Amino acid sequence: MAIESSIRVLCDDLQRSGGITQIYLRSWAAGDAVDFVNTATNHGISSIQKTGPADADWFMFDCKAETATLDIAATKENGITSFECTLSFYIPRMGGSTGALDQVDKFHTLQEIIGGINTGATCMMAIATDSNGTNWVIGASEKFSVGGTGSDQIYRSQTFVDLTGMEGSTGATYQDENGITVTLMAKQYELPRAYMGLLTPTISAGTAVTT
């Protein structure tokens, strides 16, 4: 790809905030379709749908404010650049039993991310909404995908999000944090794309859909 455009830093760029405000996760499934956009002004995704086609279902993962980050590390070998996109977030108050709506079984949900005994790891895609309102997609990329844009075979691509680590603690003193840090990573071969389509969350249910 030849360089066909420029980057200009404006005053508005200097006033942007850091941090991730919302995190949405879903498992890849047969028949999923992703539409990619490649223009001089947009490196994005216009649609994420499940088989049907129908709206794709997502689950919201709340975290403690000012703890979540999306980090990108690029390496180049033999002319191929890979990007390790790491999403890390902290869930306060460890929970292993069902209780009030805001304290449902967190460990059960985290176990779903890890995967079942007989099913192996969960292959996921993620949307991380930053403090400036941009929805960054990781685990769904076009380069080296199976079928590419609009294909119902793209779920066979191997650039999905996977769990790479968890670190939890009850703390020792009453003032210590009680919670668990979750780290997810997608190794893909292009920079994360911004989701341009409609992302509709249902806050009370902790769910969302993309069209």
pLDDT at 143: 96
- Does some domain include residue 29? yes
- Does some domain include residue 134? yes
Residues 6+ apart with CB under 8 A from 158: none
Q: Can you give the pTM of this predicted structure?
A: 0.92
User: pLDDT for 76-133, tens place per residue?
Assistant: 999 999 999 999 999 998 887 655 555 568 888 898 888 766 666 789 999 999 999 9
- Does some domain include residue 10? no
Which has more confidence, 29 or 94? 29
Pure H helices in 27-130: 106-114
- Does some domain include residue 1? no
Q: Which domain holds residue 48?
A: 18-210
- Does some domain include residue 45? yes
Domain count along the chain? 1
Tell me if 195 sits within 8 A of 45, measured CB to CB. Answer: yes
Residue 11 phi, psi (nearest 5): -55, -40
- Does some domain include residue 192? yes
